[in-house]
Amino acid sequence: MTVRVGIIGCGGIANGKHMPALSQVKEVEMVAFCDLIVERAEEAKAKYGDESAKVYTDYKEMLTDSTLDVVHVCTPNSSHSELTIAALESDCHVMCEKPMAKTSEEARTMIEAANRTGKKLTIGYQNRFRTDSRYLHDVCADGELGNIYFGKAHAVRRRAVPTWGVFLDEEAQGGGPLIDIGTHALDLTLWMMDNYKPKFVVGKAYHELSQTENAANAWGPWDPSKFTVEDSAFGYIVMENGASIFLESSWALNSLDVKEAKTSLYGSKGGADMDNGLTINGENRGLLYEKQIELETGGVDFYDGATQTPELLEAHSWIQAILNDTEPVVKPEQALVVTEILEALYESSNTGKPVYIKGE
């Protein structure tokens, strides 16, 4: 069976992840490419579509094509909810990029639309498909760490502010590193802890290094006057069962301790961190141990191993969920909880008070 996919937003992530990955899934045909900038949609068609593929600048026009099965939403955060709901209502399954939406209200309406239409919805948290993440998830699910009562979600860069597109624009994105990369780290941490019941959060966002002129940066200096989102944000999340999570996120921080899309876990039977590969630690027969997990298959150019990038696994797994009518790995209800927590952290930063998620 062929799955006919349309892409909305043919920019960085569509070219860096979605289209190259989908082009390797044998059941997929990319038949529609939409971008406000027509050249981007045309380039995408030239690279990933065939002669009959269509190019659009208006997503509504694209969604009138009743032969589309799946839509990937790869536009800035402010349009995720509108585009996702429109695609679901046009009878398409949707993979929407992270973060799910700018606000939890928008995220909830996306889930309502998926339930109403009976279509599948997933969010692009590809870090779950990394070898270390999948291994650690199995370790946690098997209870090897015991009760995981504390976690750390790491999303810290020293100087890597995304200066293209609208990443620095509060209106378009809803926030800076917290919503952009903190979202990946928090998703991983909640998934490992299998705990989606936050009680309250307290956090603080900073606009410090964003105001530096001619700053050192992986993608060139930023314009401080256009940097309207935070440059760093930190938070503490307390869950209903008493477990807690420290979340650190930054695009620019004077720190040598940088790590992104990583989690550290602390349980009653053992701990784990993703610092240098994957390490599991604990105590056995009165002594402490440290176990380094080798993430490479090692030594042999193993065909499957060589091609199993997280991006490919994400695309394969998503298309298989559609073909087999199973639940996608990233459930929208889980992504909603990530959105609720991030939104509450911003609110806590603005009000200077802890924020109770269920409005206590």
Ligand X SMILES: NC(=O)c1ccc[n+]([C@@H]2O[C@H](COP(=O)([O-])OP(=O)(O)OC[C@H]3O[C@@H](n4cnc5c(N)ncnc54)[C@H](O)[C@@H]3O)[C@@H](O)[C@H]2O)c1
Residues that bind ligand X (CB under 6 A): 8-14, 34-37, 40, 59, 74-77, 79, 97-98, 124, 126, 164-165, 180
Nearer to ligand X, 191 or 200 (CB): 191
Residue 242 CB, nearest distance to ligand X (Å)? 31
The residue (of 148 and 341) whose beta carbon lies closer to ligand X is: 341
Token code pair at residue 73? 């939403």
Q: How far is the CB of 95 from ligand X (least distance, A)?
A: 10
Instruction: Provide DSSP, 112-160.
Output: HHHHHHT--EEE--GGGGSHHHHHHHHHHHTTTT-SEEEEEEEEE-SB-
Output 338 or 355, the one with its CB closest to ligand X.
338
Q: Strand, coil or helix: what is 224? A: helix
Question: What minimum distance in Å lies between the beta carbon of 35 and ligand X?
Answer: 4
State in angstroms the smallest separation of the CB of 123 from ligand X: 9
CB-based closest residue to ligand X = 11
Of 3 and 229, CB closest to ligand X = 229
Whole-angstrom Cα distance, residue 42 to residue 331? Answer: 32
CB 62 within 8 A of CB 30: no
**Gap between the Cα atoms of 266 and 235, Å rounded:** 18
- In the complex, least distance from residue 181 CB atom to ligand X, rounded to whole angstroms: 8
Contact in structure between 263 and 154 (CB atoms under 8 Å): yes
Could you tell me the smallest distance in angstroms from the CB atom of residue 64 to ligand X?
15
Smaller CB separation from ligand X, 60 or 269? 60
- Find out whether 241 and 252 touch, Cβ atoms under 8 Å: no
Q: Which is nearer to ligand X, 151 or 177 (CB)?
A: 177
H-helix segments, 64-103: 80-89
The DSSP bridge pattern shows strands 93-96 and 121-123 to be parallel
